Amino acid sequence: MAKIMAVNAGSSSLKFQLLEMPAEEVIAQGLVERIGMEDAIFTIKFAANEKADSNENVSVKGQKAKFQKVTPIKDHSVAINMMLEELSNLDIISDFNEIVGVGHRVVAGGEYFDKSVLINEDVLAKIDELADYAPLHNPANAMGIRVFQKLLPKATEVAVFDTSFHQTMPKVNYLYSLPYKYYGKYGARKYGAHGTSHRYVAGKAAELLGQPIEDLKLITLHLGAGASITAVKHGKSFDTSMGFTPLAGVTMATRSGDVDPSLVSFIQDKENLSNDEMLTILNKQSGLQGISELSSDMRDLRAARQENDKAELAIDIFVDRVVSYIGQYVAKMDGADAIVFTAGIGENADWVREEVTARLGYLGIKIDPQKNDGCTEEADISAADAKIKTLVVPTDEELMIARDVQSLMK
């Protein structure tokens, strides 16, 4: 048995999960928020033990314990040091060296990486180089890697890229209709995102259907605050909705999704906005938030939709864009065996699943209302006469990362 940690380092946050492998048992999971602030929030959830009862920062409910502390955390080095110390203090680990592998989520792998890789200086240099493709993510991912390398020098370090699953897309699907020289000079193309999630749920969907993934055509719907849709043909990414960056595709919580570039420059001119200011609007002030002028959270919009026309409109636009991509991918793959809902909205919002599938009856996509109602776990919610199955599969990117680390450990 081996303890492996899955890490997602953001610019001011650190999300982690510690798993026992190959049993695939979650030992602890946690989050450090507001890194760099005096009031950073540090949380660990774990199975209750004797140390939990005696720690003033731990609350216990039944067999579950939650450590939470608000404290100054200067940078990622301090955050990771503190995380390891508390894992030890709480008797979750007895020695840092128990953690034999660390898998790091890295957003942009460009065309360099079509799979997860062991981290060396060359890999780290390429992650740095690709910061232009994900300026908010890759520098933070690289920083986390360097800190873990220093603090856990004996551990196997692995980079798991959001983009690698999508490297199987054919050129006809990943190139934009721009002068070809920009692809050659700058790598201007579609890279996609959420690849680890799409890879995981596609595999689970094949298990649920009882068929080899190589025989299936699936459409995986990662619908959360960030949302992307992927056509998975015979186990490989065939096309995906996100583009050069995670800004493209369907309407999201605060991201616009697909927009005519001419409209972007038009608004910039009218509002006298810089490129950075316009990108901030597209990334952080658009989507459900921008349309509704109320909230980026689908639950809030649902609660308000009866009295608030803009809340209703935001929901309708979200559903419309999801339906459009599903229809497009059914056509591009010449059919589909199943659509698969996952992530925060996809897993938990049965009413969104109902509204999406209600628009797709002409394709033979039908759900059983009783199976769909309240479903938040892995399930086939298809109607008996459905020609294309509808599945719910909770995603588990951390488990996928841990599996990749285990497979690469010597």
Residue list for the binding site for substrate = 105
Q: Give the Å distances, CA to CA, from 77 to 3, 118, 140, 376.
A: 21, 21, 12, 36
Is residue 300 annotated as part of the catalytic site, yes or no? Answer: no
Question: What values do phi and psi take at 341, rounded to 5?
Answer: -90, 135
Question: By the 8 A CB rule, do 171 and 114 touch?
Answer: no
Tell the burial category of 178 from Cβ atoms under 10 Å away from its Cβ (0-12, 13-18, 19+).
exposed
Using DSSP's 3-state secondary structure scheme, residue 329 falls into: helix
**16-32 burial, b for 16+ CB within 10 Å, e for fewer?**
bbbbebeeeebbbbbbb
How many residues belong to the chain? 410
Question: By the 8 A CB rule, do 14 and 77 touch?
Answer: no
Closest to 301 measured CA to CA, from 359, 237, 261, 253: 253
What is d(CA 353, CA 373) in angstroms, rounded to the nearest whole number?
10
Separation of first and last alpha carbons in the chain: 14
What is d(CA 382, CA 316) in angstroms, rounded to the nearest whole number?
23
Structure token digits, residue 95:
């020695």
User: Hey, what amino acid is at 19?
Assistant: L
Q: Which of 95, 162, 215, 368 is catalytic?
A: 162
Question: What values do phi and psi take at 300, rounded to 5?
Answer: -65, -40
What is d(CA 106, CA 165) in angstroms, rounded to the nearest whole number?
13
Question: By the 8 A CB rule, do 219 and 340 touch?
Answer: yes
Tell the burial category of 236 from Cβ atoms under 10 Å away from its Cβ (0-12, 13-18, 19+).
middle
Positions marked catalytic: 162
